[in-house]
Amino acid sequence: MKKTILASAIAAATFSGAAMAQEINLPVVYGNIQYALTYTDAETKAGTSSHGLEHFDNGTTLGVAHDHEIAPGITGFFKLEVDGFGADNKGAKKDIIKLDEAYVGVKGDNFGQVWVGSDDSMYETSVDEIGEFWEVGSGIGNDYDTGEGDLVQYLSPNFGGLKLGAAVQINGDKDPLNGGKKSFPWQLAAMYNVDALELAFAVDSNDGAGNNENSYGLRASFNLEDLRLTGQFETRKDVADTFGVMGVYTLGANQFALGYQLVDEDSGDKEDVISLQALHNLSDHMYVYVEGYVSSADEDKVYDVGNGAFTGDERSTIALGAVYYF
């Protein structure tokens, strides 16, 4: 899962480092180590159950970023980030390291920004806040298929609080991730901020996926000083409707969150999950957290239990984690 608080912290640290290195135009190196420990219990309607303990690397990354002035008011930028280190295992294979983000682009006050490569997609950044918020993950996210690679993305300047975005994924004839068939799935997004209110709408064409029906997502967020409230809705024909609400309260170095998500599948089956988080910032570079998830479903789902999987209709998980970032 994307880590909302971690992403914001790294962005701030990267900006700070860039400012310090501006005079000599050095690239900014950043990274983090993330550990998590989970205990999960899952059950079936018939009464069988499974439980397991797991300690794992929850997304350790290392990256480098740089930008420079091409001309007055126009900036070129790039970012390269890798993950998959397996930081919980001394004997982890070195070849498991994989690319997470890599892109290059230009931005300016008058035309916005355009960038090419692998990055969080326009649909994800505009709408999918609740599913991407949790450190370990609730198991429920928005239902869209366009991935984060081979993207060309554009984000407009701010027009009185309104920003428009677009993305297209270029899958060539020989792209193995697309079964060797070319396709050009696209996304469109609109984001509007006024005072404490945020509204966002996005659509994903899902071209080339098993179900080519569009995904439509809507998010509304409201900030009340230290309290942030968010509601989301997504629909995709012949697949499912997904609902979510979440509240996040910040108290000094502490953060508390409560969320509820529901997936109503077109088949008639439903699954919901209640998620809780308590997070404490130990310093400007380190935080710890505890999260809990309680899930239930009309039909059996495959849940991660320890280092394996179990098919059941109820799941409860408690997670402890620590993150150090620079």
If you average pLDDT over residues 148-158, what whole number do you get? 96
CA distance 35 to 30: 17
Strands 270-281 and 286-305: antiparallel
To 5 degrees, how large is the angle CA 155–CA 156–CA 162? 110
pLDDT value of residue 248:
98
Instruction: State the pLDDT confidence band at 121, using cuts at 50, 70 and 90.
Output: very high
| Phi-psi map region of 203: left, alpha, beta (phi>0 left; psi -120 to 50 alpha) | beta
What is the amino acid identity at position 218?
L
Instruction: State the pLDDT confidence band at 76, using cuts at 50, 70 and 90.
Output: very high
Q: Are 171 and 163 in contact (CB under 8 A)?
A: no
Encoding tokens for residue 148?
A: 């984060």
CA 175 vs. chain centroid, Å, equals 24
**What are 178-232's pLDDT values in tens digits?**
556 788 999 999 999 999 999 999 999 998 777 789 999 999 999 999 999 999 9
DSSP for 23-75 reads TTTPPEEEEEEEEEEEEEEEE-TTS-EEEEEEEEE---EEEEEEEEEEETTEE
Strand spans (E) along the chain: 28-43, 49-57, 61-71, 74-83, 98-108, 112-118, 151-155, 162-169, 186-194, 197-204, 215-224, 227-236, 240-251, 254-265, 270-281, 286-305, 308-325
Encoding tokens for residue 250?
A: 């910040």
**What are 3-37's pLDDT values in tens digits?**
555 655 555 555 455 455 556 788 999 999 999 99
Among residues 215, 197, 207, the alpha carbon closest in space to that of 124 is found at: 215
Question: 183 forms bridges with which residues in the sheet?
Answer: 171
Give the predicted TM-score (pTM) of the model: 0.87
Domain region containing 157: 4-325
Among residues 86, 103, 104, the alpha carbon closest in space to that of 95 is found at: 86
CA distance 137 to 144: 17
Q: Name every residue whose Cβ is closer than 8 Å to that of residue 157 and which is 6 or more positions away in sequence.
A: 109, 110, 111, 112, 163
CA distance 120 to 143: 15
Among residues 116, 118, 194, 115, the alpha carbon closest in space to that of 149 is found at: 118
Number of domains in the chain: 1
Query: Which DSSP helix (H) or strand (E) runs through 126?
Result: helix 122-127
Instruction: State the pLDDT confidence band at 143, using cuts at 50, 70 and 90.
Output: confident
CATH number at residue 145: 2.40.160.10
pLDDT value of residue 191:
98
What is the amino acid identity at position 113?
Q
Among residues 67, 81, 75, the alpha carbon closest in space to that of 7 is found at: 81
Percentage of residues in the chain having pLDDT higher than 90: 67
